[in-house]
Amino acid sequence: MCVSLVRSSASSEGSVTLRSCAVTRPSAPSVSAMRALFPALTEGTEVYLDSAATTQKPLPVIEAVQQYHGSRTANAGRGTYPWATALTERIAGIRAHTARFVGAAHPDEIVFTGGATAALNAVALSWGLANLAEGDEILYSPTDHASNVHPWLYLRTLLGRFGRRITLVPYRVDGLGEADTADILAKVTPRTRLITASHLHHVFGGLSTLEELRGKLDPEVLLCFDCSQSGGHLPVDVTELRADFAVFAAHKMFGAPGTGVLYCHRRVHDRLDPFLPGGNSGVVVADSDLIPSDMPGLLEGGTQNIPGILALGAALDVLDEFGLAEIARHNRDLTLALIEGLRPIPGLEFLPGPGYASCATGYGIVSFTLDGISATDLGFVLGEFGFLVRTGAQCLPHRPHEPGIDAVRVSTHIYNTSDEIDRFVACVSTIAQEVQ
């Protein structure tokens, strides 16, 4: 039910007066039962539409963290007493589960990290420092998340300090928000060593598999995929992607912050140096030198984020229960409904992405701007009425003193409903009428 509301928000383009943007709860029993698994969704009336930033946490994940801290806390891989050995076995099981979940052929291809950012930095420093030579090239998209741009910029700077100059070659993103594979192919040279891409773009919502490049690249060119947005939102198979590296953020797939996954294909294992040498870091000492040992310990120095890994295991169980194909279908349906509802609104413009697709596609991410109000102010006003969305630069890299992208991003998950999308669209429409 809509009730009459009037609120104002200071805007760089004037004040905004709003009506009829009330938020109510969905009533379908099946939806209620599913949403009851996520305590944060039952505490208030807000509509959470920011799952690309982080997902809500289901009860099994919360309980996994609480249980570790409250019962038989120990360190994994360090002791021979039952608490420690049982924990070591659990983590080994979660590693194997993670490998199956992402389509890896072997559990030793799965590295637990401090997050997707840490995983991408591990690739840059563990592989890049050890293997890149003068004149080598990396192809990347400047419009990707900063975590898939800044590590390569830092790697170039670091190598330059030691007299090795590498080149970062930017490639374009097309109107669908996908990597422009024709542009990539045109920029590949005999010095290309790695191509890195967002599997699902965090702002545009475009899916890039690079499948158009298959059979056209030197097999020695490595492929790196940032799967932070696709992991837990749609089926991901790193073997099908032909990835050499792929990274995942646990907190964006129902897990806890501070935990990530780095997939490293076995063919690159002998090209990796330790990322965090120290205790339990997969190295041995010979004649005072560090000799790399086995994966994945080679890249897992120090005490692991044990509660985070246990939370990841619980999150994978929940995702398996829901089914990734069903989650993907649900997000596609919500995306299409969102685009259909927003498209007629005067002054609304979609960023590159599924809003320009010629077929029914969408992966739960839609970004747009609205004439007459900045995205930041629009996000504030939407938040006042209980619609929680992301605004601002959204971790897109940009140079100082240059304007970055300022857009509203809506991102959904299995716990969102079509009713929420309808009410969100109605609220944006009301705002558009007021600011035009």
227 catalytically annotated? no
pLDDT at 2: 32
pLDDT at 33: 79
The neighbour count for residue 293, using CB atoms within 10 Å, is: 12
Q: What is the phi-psi region of residue 239: left when phi exceeds 0, alpha when psi lies from -120 to 50, beta otherwise?
A: alpha
Question: Which token pair is 354?
Answer: 């599924």
Rounded distance, CA 298 to CA 127, Å? 12
Residue ranges, comma separated, of all CATH 3.40.640.10 domains in the chain are 62-319
Given a cut of 80, whether residue 6 has pLDDT beyond it is no
CATH architecture of 62-319: 3-Layer(aba) Sandwich (3.40)
Report the topology of domain 31-57+324-435. Aspartate Aminotransferase, domain 1 (3.90.1150)
Rounded distance, CA 432 to CA 390, Å? 18
Q: Higher model confidence: residue 395 or residue 260?
A: 260
pLDDT more than 70, % of the chain: 87
pLDDT digits (tens, 9 = 90+) for 212-243: 999 999 999 999 999 999 999 999 999 999 99
Residue 30, CA distances (Å) to 33, 34, 62, 411 in order? 5, 6, 22, 22
Active-site residue, from 21, 227, 264, 395: 395
Nearest alpha-carbon partner for 229 in 341, 313, 335: 335
Per-residue pLDDT band for 284 (boundaries 50, 70, 90) equals low
The neighbour count for residue 62, using CB atoms within 10 Å, is: 16
Per-residue pLDDT band for 30 (boundaries 50, 70, 90) equals low
Say whether pTM exceeds 0.85.
Answer: yes
Residue ranges, comma separated, of all CATH 3.90.1150.10 domains in the chain are 31-57+324-435
Question: Which token pair is 79?
Answer: 């002791």
pLDDT digits (tens, 9 = 90+) for 350-392: 999 999 999 889 999 999 999 999 999 999 999 999 999 999 6
pLDDT at 174: 96
pLDDT at 406: 82
Given a cut of 60, whether residue 8 has pLDDT beyond it is no
Q: What is the mean pLDDT of the chain?
A: 89
Rounded distance, CA 51 to CA 349, Å? 22
